[in-house]
Amino acid sequence: MAAAAAATVWGATTLTGPAQDSPRAGGGPSAAPGATAPHDTSRRIPEGIAHASEGGARAVNITIDDGPDPRWTPQVLDVLKRHDVKATFCMVGPQAEARPDLVEQVVAAGHRLCDHTTSHDTAMDKKPTAYQQEQILAAKRQIERAAGGAAEVAYYRAPGGAFTPQSRRLAAENGMRPLGWNVDSKDFAKPGVAAIVATVEREMKNGPTLLFHDGGGNRSQTVQALDQVLDRLAGQGRPTGFPVRTAP
């Protein structure tokens, strides 16, 4: 297992050691960093779950799940714009199809798209391969249509981290890197802004990919907490980037 150096406030830790896959996407070891351009698929997309950042060892990946949402996605976009930060939006297919205007805003702002299935089934890993295939590929088509052909879907994130070898392989074969996370902000439970920020601070030693949500209910705490987290990261001189897509 990868060893982590002693952490300081706001995740000065760099994970070292070999990349490993995790059956669940949260808090796993970091994969090796890469520097492939966003739309360069000339190299094979690996099946391994991505945790590392294209921006290097000190970079942080902001990922936003379960949208788009007509109320909260624009507010998250405003926070990201204010901090000049790019993020990866893991979208639920029917929600993207229902709000193509929001998908287009995400793409126009320079963010990346991620497939988060059609029904957000957190028991995906217990379902037949044919079911997983339909959930993943149908969502990819819905997100692409909503984007109006303006961007590709670069990643696949299994709901609840319910990856399987089959779903990871299917994603990679369709140009999507399986995407994990290292830091679960716990914002989905709405524990309060201070609690969300404290959770991120505590877990930053786990790796660079942070999980927030713009869907699934009232995300006012997320909007405020994300603003504070980005302030603190900037104060620490931590750049933000996108998750790795291909092998280095």
Say which DSSP state 24 is in. S
pLDDT in tens, 106-149: 999 999 999 999 999 999 999 999 999 999 999 999 999 999 98
- The single residue listed with the structure tokens 């209910």 is 217
Cα separations in angstroms, 77 against 71, 188, 214, 240, 244: 11, 18, 10, 15, 22
| CA pair distance 171, 160, nearest whole angstrom | 16
- Of these residues, 111, 116, 120, 213, which one is catalytic? 213
- Give the domains, in start order, of the chain with CATH numbers: 44-241 (3.20.20.370)
**Rounded average pLDDT over 11-39:** 34
Q: What percent of the chain has pLDDT over 90?
A: 79
Beta bridge partners of 155: 114, 177
Task: Single out the residue of 56, 30, 55, 63 nearest to residue 184, CA to CA.
Answer: 63
CB atoms under 10 Å from CB of 103, counted, come to: 28
- Verify whether residue 65 is a known catalytic residue: yes
Say which DSSP state 80 is in. H
- Verify whether residue 213 is a known catalytic residue: yes
User: What does the chain come to in residues?
Assistant: 248
| Structure-token pair, residue 214 | 């713009």
Q: What pLDDT band is residue 40 in, cutting at 50, 70 and 90?
A: very low
For position 43, what pLDDT does the model report? 63
- Of these residues, 65, 69, 184, 214, which one is catalytic? 65
**Rounded average pLDDT over 85-103:** 98
Q: Is 138 exposed, middle or buried (0-12, 13-18, 19+ CB in 10 A)?
A: middle
pLDDT in tens, 50-72: 999 999 999 999 999 999 999 99
